[in-house]
Structure 1
Amino acid sequence: MTAQYVDSRWIGKLERGEHRWPSVERRVALCHVLTVTDDARLGLYSPRRSPDAPPEYSGPQPAAPTASVTRIRVDDSLIAGQPDAVEVWLAELHRLTQQAGPYVTPHLGTQVRQHLDVLDHLQSNGGRPHLASVDARWSEYMSWVADNSGASDGGSWLDRSHRRANEAGDQLLGAYILMRQSQRALDDGAVRAAITLSRRSLTHGPVPPRTRTLCLTRLAEALASNGDDDTDNVITAARRGLQSATNDAEDEFASHCDLRYVTAVDARCRQLLGDTLSAGAIFNELLDGDNQVPLLDAGIWYAHLGECYLPDDPERAAGHGMNALRLANETGSYRAIRASQPLAIALRRHTTLAPVRAFVDAHRAAVLSR
């Protein structure tokens, strides 16, 4: 019997990754409290492993994994790993993303991780360098899945993607990953880092117009978060960039960056800079029932729209927050839950109002369920 002191400071270090491999007693205790079966389910791994080995998935797990989840078969043509298998790997990734659509499930994360395990094995000991760009793309997608499912290792997968993109000399993907890292920094409230990363993405080699436009939107939101009026100039540059954008296959990463997307970023920037009236009008128009809005984006836009109504109409703000949670539940996206957190915090002082109390309680339940 030994004393195992666990307080908020120790838990904080665990969450930040400063403790990667606690003592066996603490790991057993964590498994017991979190009702999981082993260390892998906790997302913990020994630092003695290879630095390229990704941390285990620590997101939500099904209560009783079925054979279809735990026995996903990786096609033999992918395992062969020959140079001509590059296109096969990319085709499989395209198939998986199209099949999943906007819905993020534990099964999807398991599929992608098992394919990445195969890629990791194929590249061991410096073998098959031609697979570096393939690994970079799969790792980037895994980071997106992790962020949307509420797992804590999205940043680690994005770091792996960045390393592989550099190994492959892939300038386009390198710029896209820097943009994604800027987005994650914004989600974490690290505004200064977000500005730096988005500026780096704009100088990371020549990239197609739509990808550059996407990088500009990240810079605009980062500047707005810092209260910088230069945001308007960046949004103007982003709109101008769209005029020269085409449906080039090379620009596939940024295919979602259209005029509607840039307009939503403009609304978000206005809201961050205090112009909630025009921001709310833009969001309302974008989310009008006649528009076919991407579900993942819509959940986040509803959360931002709710913030526009905070000063004058808390009940309406809570209603939009509930829309965000509804879409988060429908798609499995944790990012929409996270985006609605500032709204839930700001509305706590209005919980005497029944709609507000219902939203705050629903948000709390949504966070705990992840």
Structure 2
Amino acid sequence: MCLSREELAELANAWIWKHHEKIVALSANYIGQLERGKIRWPGKLYREALREILGVSTDAALGFVNSRRAVVRLKDVDRKQFLRSGLGLGVGALVLGPMAALLEGGEPSPIPHRIGATEIEQIRAATRSFDSWSNTYGAGLIREPVMGQLRWSARLLDATCPDRLRPELYSAVGNLAETAGYAAVDIGAHDAGRRVYRFALACAEQAQDWPLRAEILSSMAKQAIWTGQPDDGLTLAEQALVRSDRLTATGRALLHTDRARALAKMRRVSETLTAVGTADDHFAHSTPDDDPPCMAYYECRQVIW
């Protein structure tokens, strides 16, 4: 198995969410700092995740030393060698070429100590920009920058934020994550897309943002159908319809269309036709002015196919 720094970071983030339900933002830059010894004692959850992923039982085996408890220091080269050999990584997977090396060593962008409406709107504006670029140029252009923006934005979730604004912060980050997940799926990076979608869904549920939750589950359902798992797609679409009374008519039409796609793939013809009719009925009562921004793209032709 050959993993890049980014892939290792994403695996660790996914492992922590799966086992601790904690949203973290371990990045490729952070992995690089571990290699170089700039960070010698990462947080407990990071150490636990990396031990599991790399298949070792102790922090020392990873080259991590708590400087407050030990005098011994491991050379940076030992740490680098472990991170390469422990996963069978080729040198090319973690060591950049001479030109790309000029981009190494940058410090993570600082985050504000306190989050307010301005920072939340900045995340929303970034999401709108990425969506526009994706629609114009394709997801390949935005995948790397949107993931970088998402990692930075996810760190804001741990910053101080007024209680009244925290749901909006989670919604904004979740919406950005949905865009990042779509970018990954659109270029065929399905495993990465699933991980980002799960993060997006966690944010939407934390915010109790029902329309965003429905949109993310719809995206997850479509991905499952596209990748030959229509039964999973049907489950996700029906999960999104829980408390459908909190969705607009457009949102309900979207989800019944997803159900119809999944049922059609399973050749359940009668149920497919019923689902199409239900989607059409809901869309007939659609009022675009009532729809949240995440539903703006949905049009009649998506019901009719």
Q: Which residue of 2 is the match for residue 174 of structure 1? A: 213
Distance 1:252 1:46, change over 3 A: closer
Does 1:256 find its partner at 2:297?
Answer: yes
Unaligned runs of 5+ in 2: 18-22, 29-96
Does 1:139 find its partner at 2:183?
Answer: no
Q: Which residue of 2 is the match for residue 193 of structure 1? A: 232
Note if contact 2:13-2:24 (Cα within 8 Å) is conserved in structure 1: no
Instruction: State the Cα distance separating 1:169 from its structure 2 match.
Output: 0.8
Note if contact 1:143-1:157 (Cα within 8 Å) is conserved in structure 2: yes
Distance 1:114 1:221, change over 3 A: same
Aligned residue pairs, count: 223
Instruction: State the Cα distance separating 1:221 from its structure 2 match.
Output: 0.9
The letter for the 1-side match of 2:5 is D
Q: Which residue of 1 is the match for residue 65 of structure 2? A: none
Q: Which residue of 2 is the match for residue 150 of structure 1? A: 188
RMSD of aligned alpha carbons = 3.5
Note if contact 1:43-1:56 (Cα within 8 Å) is conserved in structure 2: yes
The whole-number CA distance in structure 2 between the counterparts of 1:66 and 1:245 is 53
Instruction: State the Cα distance separating 1:216 from its structure 2 match.
Output: 0.8
Distance 1:81 1:118, change over 3 A: farther
Q: Which residue of 2 is the match for residue 40 of structure 1? A: 6
Q: Which residue of 1 is the match for residue 280 of structure 2? A: 239
Note if contact 1:175-1:204 (Cα within 8 Å) is conserved in structure 2: no
Note if contact 2:13-2:26 (Cα within 8 Å) is conserved in structure 1: no
My pick for the range that moved more, 89-98 or 155-164, is: 89-98
Q: Secondary structure in 1 aligned to 2:287?
A: coil
Distance 1:215 1:185, change over 3 A: same
Instruction: State the Cα distance separating 1:256 from its structure 2 match.
Output: 2.5
Note if contact 1:210-1:255 (Cα within 8 Å) is conserved in structure 2: no
My pick for the range that moved more, 200-209 or 142-151, is: 200-209
Does 1:89 find its partner at 2:127?
Answer: no
Q: Which residue of 2 is the match for residue 358 of structure 1? A: none
The whole-number CA distance in structure 2 between the counterparts of 1:254 and 1:209 is 11
Q: Which residue of 1 is the match for residue 156 of structure 2? A: 122
Unaligned runs of 5+ in 1: 1-25, 32-37, 58-62, 265-370
CA offset digits 1:90-134 (Å, max 9, x no partner): 123213322332433544112211211221222227866341111
My pick for the range that moved more, 80-89 or 154-163, is: 80-89
Note if contact 2:237-2:255 (Cα within 8 Å) is conserved in structure 1: yes
Instruction: State the Cα distance separating 1:210 from its structure 2 match.
Output: 1.2
Note if contact 2:12-2:26 (Cα within 8 Å) is conserved in structure 1: no
Q: Secondary structure in 1 aligned to 2:288?
A: coil
Q: Which residue of 2 is the match for residue 8 of structure 1? A: none
Distance 1:150 1:241, change over 3 A: same
CA offset digits 1:189-210 (Å, max 9, x no partner): 2222222211122224411111
CA offset digits 1:185-244 (Å, max 9, x no partner): 112222222222111222244111111111011000111112212111111121222222
The whole-number CA distance in structure 1 between the counterparts of 2:102 and 2:304 is 44
Note if contact 1:182-1:197 (Cα within 8 Å) is conserved in structure 2: yes
The letter for the 2-side match of 1:175 is A
TM-score, normalised to structure 2, is: 0.62
Q: Which residue of 1 is the match for residue 271 of structure 2? A: 230
The whole-number CA distance in structure 1 between the counterparts of 2:193 and 2:110 is 25
Q: Secondary structure in 1 aligned to 2:211?
A: helix
The letter for the 2-side match of 1:257 is Y
Q: Which residue of 1 is the match for residue 143 of structure 2? A: 109
Note if contact 1:41-1:56 (Cα within 8 Å) is conserved in structure 2: no
Q: Secondary structure in 2 aligned to 1:153?
A: helix
Q: Which residue of 2 is the match for residue 221 of structure 1? A: 261
The whole-number CA distance in structure 2 between the counterparts of 1:48 and 1:89 is 22
